[in-house]
Structure 1
Amino acid sequence: MIALPWHAEHWARLQARRQRDAMPHALLLVGPAGLGKRDFLQRFVHGLLCLQPQDGEACGQCRSCLLLAAGTHPDYVSLSFGLRKDGVQRSEIVVDQIRELSARLSMSSQFGGWQVVSIDPADAMNAAAANALLKTLEEPSQQTLLLLVADAPWRLPQTIRSRCQRIEFQLPSHAEALAWLQAEGVKDAAAALDAAGGNPGLARAWGEQGALARRQEVRKDLAALAAGRGEAMEVVKRWLDNEPAQRLWFAAQAAADEAKAQAATSPGPLTSALTSEALGDWYMAANRTRDALRGPLRADLLLLELLARWR
């Protein structure tokens, strides 16, 4: 199991609660994508269900550990996007899945210990599913632990959030993140960390995926549009062909950098004619557009409207 340095405090607290036999019945793991929430969850679940754990860590050899590794442990349920009747993966977690889960939790543990459920992403539950889960949270079974993972916890109803103990994963210090990236052998670690907004997990993934080159391409595109060169539709096509959400992340970063340069009364690197206030509005619009890419609206029209505002 992966043990990341910025997990240490959360891990120690949970293990202390476990030793005091004071485990909550529901945990909500939140924080930016890339900080290892799901690695933390798997590490904790394996240690909790292990028959002979050492300091909370799974042995990896007992029957329980082997069943978990095979994905067949009878006391662990992992709930995510299911399939529709036509075999297509759903884009949300639906009420029937939660009802099935509740029926399963009404039965006793086959190993005589914990029954553990992970719901990921919990913020993908529709309203009916969330209401159904609320009943389980209000009347938890003995030795049942629900683990909810959410990159966007604000999408969860307050009634769900208030009934879970929250574990919030925050960005580590720049020095800690940089040291970890360098130990992982990430090239251009400092530049990758800057591109990822201080998120070491994203920085490592993006460093491996050539994201720094895409970041430069985005800035060149914005500079060209600001100078009246190039066609917005051509930029839209390029962005849609290769990691559009990531390119919008970099575009928002570029707008923020431009605004900082203007505040320092020096020409911005993109030479945008937008005012500092307009750059702030465009930054927020870029982030909203990135979020909207997951919805039903046409991505090309969303991007075209955004870039038209930039010009």
Structure 2
Amino acid sequence: MNQLPWHAEHWARLQARRQRDALPHALLLCGAAGLGKRAFAERFMQGLLCKAPAGGDPCGHCRSCLLVAAGTHPDVISLSFGLRKDGVQRSEIVVDQIRELSARLAMSSQFGGWQVATIDPADAMNPAAANALLKTLEEPSAQTMLLLLADAPWRLPQTIRSRCQRIEFHLPAAVDALAWLQAEGVRDSAAALTAAGGNPGLARAWALEGALDRRLEVRKDLAALAAGRGQPVDVVKRWLDNEPAQRLWFAAQAVADEVKARSGESTGPLASAMDVEGLGHWYSAVNRTRESLRGPLRGDLLLLELLAQWR
């Protein structure tokens, strides 16, 4: 299977533990979105269940591999956002889901080997669900593997984190990330990598979906509002209709560039009338707003307050 270059060290260590029959019963795979945690987990799960793995990779031909590929392997359990009684998708993982998972894992493997359960995103478990998972983590069944995936592991209780072997994916060196993007045929690789904050996976995805144009639009919107042109409510509507969280990411980048320009005693690209301290406060407000979009508050009001402050 193709391996992302920045996965190699983690993969080698995990397979060495497997060779020593020293695998943990729970892995916490964490790090920024776009670094391939889910591909890593899928690869590891397939190799663990495969009857003839090579270097930890699945053969792709045995009965287990074929069932995994078809999504019908009886010893593979995937847990994510469920549905409420009214059919609407939940925004968190709830205690009933964890109890059902624990009951399933308490049963013997149908194929007589490993049972692998994936909780993704694990950082979406509510407190009751996280507490319910503790018993399974503390008293795991034999040959049971729990894979917890989290973009924001700090949202998990310490009691959960301390009972998992942590594999943390960090941003690769810029030169390595750029080389990988170029090998993948990504146009404007350097610009895409800058837009994604050095994250090569996000850079590739964003380049393919036209995010670089969106980044330019955000800067134009902020410059226009700073100059007194346009209305915040019009900008809010456009941002809210098309990747608002990503636009806020780009807004934070633009303000950071403005601050850097001020430190060099030149006019920034946004020509804001704010001083450096004000820009710093607004930068923090952007990141708080981006985080708040995950919650129940109205996105239009959050964005309107933010952009009114900018203007």
Deviation by residue 1:219-246 (Cα, 9 ceiling, x = unmatched):
0110111111111111111111111111
User: Which digits, 9 at most, give the CA deviation of each residue in 1:79-112, with x for residues without a partner?
Assistant: 1111122222111111111111111111111121
* Distance in 2 (alpha carbons) for counterparts of 1:183 and 1:58: 25
Moved over 6 A (4+): none
- Measure the CA separation in 2 of the matches of 1:220 and 1:200: 25
CA distance in 2 between counterparts of 1:213 and 1:106 reads 51
Does the aligned pair in 2 maintain the 1:2–1:43 contact within 8 Å? no
Gaps of 5+ in 2: none
Q: Secondary structure at the match of 2:132?
A: helix
Number of the residue aligned with 2:61: 61
Aligned match of 1:187:
187
Distance 1:97 1:2, change over 3 A: farther
Q: How does 1:78-117 map to 2 (within 5 A)?
A: 78-117=78-117
Amino acid corresponding to residue 272 of structure 1 in structure 2: S
Partner of 1:232: 232
Q: Quick one: which amino acid aligns to residue 187 of structure 1? A: R
Give per-residue Cα distances to partners, 1:207-266, cap 9 Å, x unaligned: 011111111110011011111111111111111111111110000000111011111211
Give the TM-score normalised by the residue count of structure 2.
0.98
Q: For residue 65 of structure 1, what is the amino acid of its counterpart?
A: C
Aligned residues: 311
Distance 2:78 2:141 in 1: 17
> Which one-letter code corresponds to 1:124 in the other structure?
A
Structure 1 residue 293 displacement after superposition = 1.1
Q: Secondary structure at the match of 1:88?
A: coil
How much does 1:41 deviate?
0.3
For 2:307, the aligned partner's letter is L
Q: 1:236, 1:140 → 2: CA distance?
A: 49
In the alignment, what sits opposite 1:287? 287
- Cα shift at 1:165: 0.8
Shift of 1:2: 4.0
SS of aligned partner of 2:273:
coil
2:308 equivalent in structure 1: 308
Describe the superposition over 1:31-61 as per-residue Cα deviations: whole angstroms up to 9, x where unpaired.
Answer: 0000000000000000010000011110001
Comparing 14-23 with 290-299, greater Cα deviation is found at 290-299
Structure 1 segment 89-238 matched on structure 2, within 5 A: 89-238=89-238
Between stretches 110-119 and 199-208, larger displacement belongs to 110-119
Tell me the distance in 1 between the aligned counterparts of 2:118 and 2:278. Answer: 42
**2:271 alignment partner in structure 1:** 271
Q: TM-score normalized by structure 1?
A: 0.98
Q: Which residue identity does 1:107 align to in structure 2?
A: M
Residue identity over aligned pairs, in percent, reads 80
Q: Superposition pairs for residues 31-42 of structure 1, below 5 Å?
A: 31-42=31-42
Letter in 1 for 2:265: T
Query: What amino acid is the match of 1:188?
Result: D
Q: 1:259 aligns to what? A: 259
Do 1:224 and 1:230's aligned partners in 2 also have CA atoms closer than 8 Å? Answer: yes
Amino acid at match of 1:160: I
One-letter amino acid matched to 1:5: P
What is the rounded CA distance, in whole Å, between the counterparts of 2:34 and 2:257 in structure 1?
23
For the residue of structure 1 that corresponds to 2:262, the secondary structure is helix
Amino acid at match of 1:93: I
- Counterpart of 1:218 in structure 2: which amino acid? V
Whole-angstrom CA distance in 1 between matches of 2:19 and 2:279? 51
For the 8 Å contact 1:76–1:116, the answer to whether it is kept is yes
SS of the residue 1:97 aligns to: helix
Please give the alpha-carbon distance, in whole angstroms, between the structure 2 residues aligned to 1:278 and 1:73. Answer: 56
Give the counterpart letter for 1:28 in structure 2: L
Segments of 5+ residues of structure 1 without an aligned counterpart are: none
Shift in Å, 1:143: 1.2
Q: Which residue of 2 aligns with 1:297?
A: 297
Q: Distance in 2 between matches of 1:267 and 1:86?
A: 54
| Equivalent-residue separation in structure 1 for 2:2 and 2:86 (angstroms) | 37
